[in-house]
Amino acid sequence: MINTTEKTECYHCGQACSDDTFRVDDKMFCCYGCKVVYGIINDSNLCEYYDIESHPGLNAKNYRKGEFDYLDEEKLRKKLLEFDSDDFARTRLNVPAIHCSSCIWLLENLQKADKGVYKSEVNFNRKQVTIDFNPAKTSLSALAELLDALGYPPRVTIDNPESKKKQASNLVTKLAIAGFAFGNVMLFSFPEYLGLDPKDQSLGRLFSWLNLALAIPVIVYSASGYFTSALKSFRQKQLNIDVPIALGLLALFLRSSYDIVTHTGPGYLDSLTGLVFFLLIGRWFQGRTYETLAFERDFKSFFPLAVQRVKDDRVISTVIFDLKKGDRIRVRNFEIVPADSILIDKVAFIDYSFVTGESRPVKAAAGDLIYAGGKLIGQPVNLIVEKETSQSHLTSLWNSDVFRKKYESRYRKIIDRSARIFTWIVLGIAAITAVYWYFYSPKEMWLVLTSVLMVACPCALALAAPFTYGSMMRVFGRHGFYLKNSDVVERLSVIDLVVFDKTGTVTHGQAPQVLFEGELSKEELSAVKLLTGFSTHPLSSIVNRSITEDPSGTVTHFEEKPGKGIEATIDHREYRIGSAEFIGFRGYIKSTGTKVFVSINGEVKGHFLVKAAVRNYVKAMLHRLGERCNALLSGDGNTDLEAMKGLFPSSAQLKFDQRPIDKMEYIRDQQAKEQKVLMVGDGLNDAGALKQADVGIAVTDDTGLFTPGCDAILQGEQLRHLDRFLSLAKSSSRILKIAFTISFTYNAVALSFAVTGNLTPLVAAILMPVSSISVVGFSTIAVNLVSRKLC
């Protein structure tokens, strides 16, 4: 028997159930969505899902039918299917909701829910599911809908990361070959290290030839990246860091081959292979850190990939790029208008917050032009496309120069500049040394020359930056702060000013807290819901969303007075919703926050208290930032001015009613004063400002949410650590400088030994990886020590 008190948790998602409205047999559900998901799982005999882990589901939203119809559009289908034939097809879908072993079980048993599925396989780390299915029996859209219905909505993106993946696996192959050769060459060089008997000379020669055979794939394949890069830099007449490396590698290889072929020595192939191996490890490490979050996606992902086009009274899915002027399209609630279009229906409410930053919906009437990027709120409408998407208002906004700004990394500049100078200095020193030794002792000239070229190669310099910034990036990633690349760490370290956005950044994004104080019957609430639904004021929509009753009532009179409120008559009762003054309320209410009063037939019934909740611990963080905390730029009205005054330190300017362009210009002004600006926003309506800033951070409560043009994504709850992230970035810059110093010292000391002929190439070659390892080890350990503060 089951104790009734234990049943208050939702059987599907584990959230608390408010009452027993949603129940099946003895199982309780918190909402209709969860109950529906359970129904599907139960009908498909998949209840084992609930055995593996308790409450495995995620709180389910209501899904709508037909949402994924566009996937069957031929062009998209081709892109999404890895293999396609009459009775077999394979697709790989991203399913961000995968989070536990129950998910794996459920998603690998899809064939029980859809007979058209042959097999499905989950890749947990990539959050992907690969589905083999029979296209004759089921379709891509049906599969996507099934996943959605089960609570695992697939995220469809057209760009394929295949090429990147291939590059990474290519690098591992190179690394494997270099490591293999390194180990074996070391083994064959061992007799050489210990000294060979003169009578074993032939054996030594055999070993040398074997070494050469092993080193050829390393130089030709594993190290090929350095040679192509060096060659490229030669062609562009700009010497980069790869030139000395390539030169050193080439000198080592040629010198060793010469030695081996002429039987004058064993060569230095152990050093060569080791060098390549360690260099590639550095590259691989760097690549791994990049992989943590692949986000700079095509901005097109913002749009629904296809729209519903109305043709001959039938609705068909069309890819947005195929839209032509004059096409009729249908846009549903919360869908983004894909192209500038003219409204056919009587009325529509469009939320342009994505384009303009203004969160209140705009009312459009028949014949009005609706701009691309606007989000429809409410009833579905029909539109006629006026401009093709490629030239529309929105695309031009995104294509503005701000989005293409390139930042040249300072450390890379230092490296490249020093490499340019270094290369010439090294070549000069090498030439002078060679000339000197040619006259002094021509026998040793080659040896000394090789030592100089090898020891001067600033490999540790090249490794220090990716390792330091790379490990810092990983530390950040572990704490919910994802950077686009390691350059961002460097840019973060020089930030002078921090500018914040309000809604969704300092305050929680969704669902401002709405409390009703007073008394309203269910009927009256329904009427308020109906009336607020008519209004476009943001407060109306907030109040509207907070009421759970269905709208009902017959409206005989309706008037909205701007800045005051709504006046309406429903079922012969006069409703007034709005400000205290408008309602005629003269009392005093102590609580802070915006109030919306309701009166019926002149009698004040109470008020809605709207509070945008500030994130936890943000105040302390803002004060720790102190002087650096420069401004709050909010797109909303100044209703929260008092609350924000209390929150921000006095140094910060508080600006309200800012359009995105204002935000961008504010940042540009600060930058004109030689200040490095960090912008923290929600990434939707302040995309331009994020891109304009030296570093743009998008705060999000859902990492699946895509934001273009930002440099980093910060999880909402981690905003309180922002100041720590900044100081860590500073520390890592300091660590890098120390690592640079160590590396330079190594090179200088070793070079002085090499020039005087006191350093044999063998010692030089051993010194090289040792210096690299010590620099890398230093930076990695230092970063981890410094970042312990964070937790």
* Interacting residue ranges for another protein, rule: CB under 8 A: 2, 25-27, 45, 47-48, 50-52, 54, 101, 104-105, 108, 112, 121-126, 169, 172-173, 176-177, 180, 183-184, 187-188, 202-203, 206, 210
Nearest distance, CB of residue 282 and another protein, angstroms:
20
**CB closer to another protein out of 176 and 432:** 176
**CB closer to another protein out of 65 and 199:** 199
Yes or no: say if 361 and 339 are a contact pair by the CB < 8 Å rule.
no
3-class secondary structure, 309: strand
Strand order of the β-sheet with 513-518 is 513-518, 603-611, 594-600, 573-578, 565-570, 555-561
- The residues, any chain, with a CB within 8 Å of residue 570's CB and separated by 6 or more, are 527, 530, 531, 553, 554, 555, 556
- H runs (alpha helix) in 44-161: 49-52, 74-80, 101-107, 110-113, 140-149
Yes or no: say if 738 and 774 are a contact pair by the CB < 8 Å rule.
no
Q: What is the DSSP code (8-state) at residue 579?
A: -
Residue whose C-alpha is closest to residue 657's, from 225, 366, 211, 357: 357
Nearest distance, CB of residue 220 and another protein, angstroms:
16
Nearest distance, CB of residue 224 and another protein, angstroms:
17
Residue whose C-alpha is closest to residue 92's, from 122, 118, 137, 63: 122
Give the pair of three-digit tokens for residue 365: 């009437």
Nearest distance, CB of residue 101 and another protein, angstroms:
4
Residue whose C-alpha is closest to residue 689's, from 495, 482, 499: 499
Nearest distance, CB of residue 424 and another protein, angstroms:
40
Secondary structure of 51-68 in the HEC alphabet?
A: HHCCCCCCCCCCCCCCCC
Nearest distance, CB of residue 105 and another protein, angstroms:
6
Yes or no: say if 331 and 307 are a contact pair by the CB < 8 Å rule.
yes
Nearest distance, CB of residue 87 and another protein, angstroms:
24
Nearest distance, CB of residue 27 and another protein, angstroms:
7
Give the pair of three-digit tokens for residue 772: 């690299």
Nearest distance, CB of residue 186 and another protein, angstroms:
12
Nearest distance, CB of residue 122 and another protein, angstroms:
5
Residue 259: alpha-carbon gap to chain centroid: 52
303 vs 307: CA distance, rounded Å: 9
Is the dihedral angle over the CA atoms 722, 726, 732, 738 positive or is it negative? negative
**CB closer to another protein out of 180 and 753:** 180
568 vs 558: CA distance, rounded Å: 4
**CB closer to another protein out of 173 and 592:** 173
**CB closer to another protein out of 111 and 715:** 111
Strands 341-343 and 381-385: antiparallel
